[in-house]
Structure 1
């Protein structure tokens, strides 16, 4: 039996990960040949890599397929990438869609590992590339700031409620004010760390400075876009970028029925959130975007659709300026 391809499905959890090694032969029949559980720590990962080297034929293509599980898969993914293995990291919705397509109704860690193994054998999957350390750190800082701002907003709402109440708890109000001041300092510190990080790379700092000349795009907005796209290293073209952001238009067509207008929202929510306020600002201050927004509103009643279109346009403009390294010329926009 000639083996054409090998796939290793990995279901990762906090303490361990389940492994399923499968092969596909020249008759296109799949077979699971090895299953095991390893501890999700340095010792367990080293043992797993050693076992896979002995149990697979390295002359035949082999890929390691896993789902993105917060941060628990990262140590394993980086260890495999360091050994020059082909690593595939899937979004959970892709694995779920594949499970539905082959009518899998049950769910467990072992079943998920087998499912990912089968998916690696039957589908052509894009390999994962480890992000640059600068953009990986920048993503942590931008998401930290986003979480801190959300916490502060909740506390401000609580403070307003306590201050408006007929019976006022003065000590509670004082503690809330103190907490809000603390979060404000944390947000300021995160901003300082982001700028210091970007300054470590002169080419990155120079390009960001060029992009922020676009009215509506601030340092924070551009930094978030770059962090969420790994400096556009994971993006091949504009169509993929729009899909990754979830700003692509959802089309529903059947027979004579044809509806469209809503965006899919199936992409990166952090990216969409980072572009919303810049789009509102650009609609007022950026001449090119203001004209574009006005033309859209002449054809449709829902003004939010125009704002979303400006979001998409700002994202693609950022992508073009980053890839080309050119200066932004407002008269040519």
Structure 2
């Protein structure tokens, strides 16, 4: 879609700084429901028709949530830049930080790419809820891990009778956090079960040996129920498991390697799924053992398995049929 005008928005905790690109009109509004509606009223004063206008802003977590909700309610076209690294790389060397200047840069970025940009699709409210629950779970898991590590180290150094109160307090915290993590996971499953499309895709992913509930839930969140990525190759590149060539001229011919520009969280989960797959999936186990016996790198082989699992996830979603392990039908 060819947009006639682009509005850049720099979102912060309390305010949004905005810039209409062609007319170079700038202003600042409160980052509240009322403030954002006031912003849209201000836009209509300068641009009568919003059908050809694209609102562009960076993904800033919960700070951009209200803006997204209001734009959806008003039927506006918007594009969320994620990750923000895209725009940082497009600006070159920049000194200092100014919200109004950032809004102008975002507007310019959007205007240059207006013919290529596909507006961000409306997100299910269930996805937003799932994402918040997953963030909460991650925080609780980190706290649980910290308490377990501290308790283990203290028990190896201090005498129990001298540190009885500290040991018991930490043990109670560990018990409490474990209980809360299970509660959050139950709530996440309830959210998935309440939405037929999420439930269907979750079950399809879980039909693949090696793919666990955490990986499947994260896939639903990151891909927004598979609406943001249309192929496994694009997703593999996004999460840093797709190998890229490393060569130049005739002198530099290095090995293919994965890029450090990646979603490290999903990459870590994919790695754990690959490790699980070679333990519980006979096909993957045989493949892994054969490559290792040939002297191939273990990490390189694990990366291939990560790619295979991602490809299978996208295959079952696109076909809308569970994965079938054909190896068990072989005589």
* TM-score exceeds 0.5: yes
Q: What is the aligned counterpart of 1:313 among 295, 298, 308?
A: 308
Task: Name the SS of the counterpart of 1:246 in structure 2.
Answer: coil
Pair 185,62 (structure 1): closer, same or farther in 2 beyond 3 Å? same
The answer as to 2:33 corresponding to 1:42 is yes
- Partner residue in 2 for 1:129: 121
| Structure 2 alignment gaps of length 5 or more | none
- Counterpart of 2:89 (choices 73, 87, 97) is 97
Distance in 1, Cα, partners of 2:268 & 2:215: 9
* Aligned partner (choices 114, 117, 121) of residue 107 of structure 2: 117
Which residue number corresponds to residue 280 of structure 1?
A: 275
Partner of 2:153 in structure 1?
A: 161
Distance in 2, Cα, partners of 1:114 & 1:206? 42
Residue number in structure 2 paired with 1:19: 18
Q: Deviation digits for residues 252-281 of structure 1, max 9, x if unmatched?
A: 221121223432242323322322222101
When structure 1 is superposed on structure 2, of 183-192 and 167-176 the one drifting more is 167-176
- State the SS of the aligned residue for 1:266: coil
For 1:266 and 1:276, the matched residues in 2 are separated by 16
Q: 2:264 aligns with which of 255, 269, 274?
A: 269
1:88 aligns with 2:79: yes
State the Cα RMSD in Å: 2.3
Structure 2 CA distance for partners of 1:212 and 1:60, relative to 1, 3 Å: closer
Pick which of 286-295 and 317-326 moved more: 286-295
Alignment equivalent of 2:193, drawn from 176, 189, 199: 199
Q: Is the 8 A contact 2:246 2:256 kept in 1?
A: no
Tell me, in whole angstroms, the C-alpha distance in 1 between the residues paired with 2:73 and 2:295.
52
Instruction: Kindly state the Cα deviation for residue 246 of structure 1 after the two structures are TM-superposed.
Output: 2.2
Q: In 1, Cα distance between the equivalents of 2:31 and 2:295? A: 53
In 2, are the aligned partners of 1:8 and 1:20 still within 8 Å (CA)? yes
Counterpart Cα distance in 1 of 2:293 and 2:243: 19
Q: Distance in 2 between matches of 1:116 and 1:203?
A: 34
Q: Is the 8 A contact 1:6 1:60 kept in 2?
A: no
TM-score by length of 1: 0.88
| Structure 1: gaps (5+ residues) | 24-31
Deviation at 1:80, TM superposition (A): 1.2
Q: Which one of 192, 211, 217 corresponds to residue 223 of structure 1?
A: 217
Shift of 1:145: 2.0
CA contact (8 A) 1:7 1:120 kept: yes
Tell me, in whole angstroms, the C-alpha distance in 1 between the residues paired with 2:233 and 2:208: 22
Deviations 1:50-83 (CA, angstroms, capped at 9, x unpaired): 1112212427732111111121011112211222
Do residues 146 (structure 1) and 138 (structure 2) align? yes
CA distance in 2: counterparts of 1:42 and 1:232, whole angstroms:
29
Deviations 1:105-124 (CA, angstroms, capped at 9, x unpaired): 44321221111011111123
How far apart in 2 are the matches of 1:265 and 1:132?
Answer: 30
Alpha-carbon distance, 1:17 to partner: 1.2
CA distance in 1, matches of 2:87, 2:232: 25
SS at match of 1:72: helix
Distance 1:260 1:141 in 2: 40
Which whole-Å CA distance do the structure 1 matches of 2:320 and 2:51 have between them?
Answer: 40
Per-residue deviation, residues 159-216 of structure 1 (Å, max 9, x unmatched): 1111111455322222111111111001110121122222223454344334323221
Kept in 2: contact 1:21–1:117 (CA 8 A): yes
1:248 corresponds to which of 220, 242, 254: 242
Check the 8 A contact 1:11/1:109 in 2, yes or no.
yes
Shift of 1:284: 1.7
